[in-house]
Amino acid sequence: MDRIDFRQHAVHSLEEIREKVGTPHEAVVKKSISMIDEQARSYIAMSPMMFLATSNREGQCDVSPRGDGPGFAYVANEKQLIIPDRPGNRRVDSLQNILSNPHVGLLFLIPGMEEVLRVNGRAAVIKDHPVLEKLALKDKAPALGIVVEVEECFIHCPRALKSSGIWDQGSWPSKEERPSSMDIFHAHLRINGYPLE
């Protein structure tokens, strides 16, 4: 498949972007705060899922879904929240990235709600701290946690979730129509030459 050459159409300045999209309303700029207030705390307490965006020192990015029950992320105070690192596939992409570049972005969701809560800040990976007991699941505290020092927090408009119809079950593809995660997994293993039995 031939790659498309976009070089002649690439944007190289913020001025070019502003020429196309305009400038934000003052209220959109001023809605960003540098802490977790009571409204944001309430949102996080109801959120069973979030996406964690990280990148390494070289700028290679990753986004990882995180979730348990509502309020799985613990708000310690207005400047700090802690995310449990539950057992998974052991790739630890997010944790490796945080070790080389602490800047993270979080996107919290509440099922049925089209506005999302965005939190940006600096993260650190912690172990053996008593606060991890507050993140216990079935009486088992996580071995590791991610502490985020909050630098920015704001509610994001509903346009993307509303346009996608993500919460409208009537628009969901049937189970038979959905891509098979196992087929995708096996196809990618074959591309990398991993033998399948």
CB atoms within 10 A of CB 82: 21
pLDDT of residue 12: 96
Residue 176 lies in a domain: no
Residue at 144 is within a domain = yes
pLDDT of residue 29: 87
In a domain, 172, yes or no: no
8 A C-beta contact, residue 65 and residue 32? no
Where is 189: in which H helix or E strand? helix 181-191
CATH number at residue 30: 2.30.110.10
| Residue 178 belongs to some domain of the structure | no
The alpha carbon of 155 is separated from its chain's Cα centroid by a whole number of angstroms, namely 14
pTM of the complete model: 0.92
Is residue 188 in some structural domain? no
Domain that holds residue 105: 13-165
Averaged in consecutive runs of 10 residues, what is the pLDDT profile of the chain (197 residues)? 93 94 91 96 98 96 95 96 93 96 98 97 97 92 97 95 94 93 94 90
- 13 DSSP 8-state letter: S
- Bridge partners for 107 per DSSP: 51, 118
The strand ranges marked E within 86-136 are 103-109, 116-127
| pLDDT on residue 88 | 86
What total of structural domains would you count in the chain?
Answer: 1
Would you say residue 181 lies in a domain?
A: no
DSSP code, position 27? H
List, in order, residues 6 or more apart from 42 with CB less than 8 Å away: none
Give a yes or no: residue 8 inside a domain.
no
Would you say residue 187 lies in a domain?
A: no
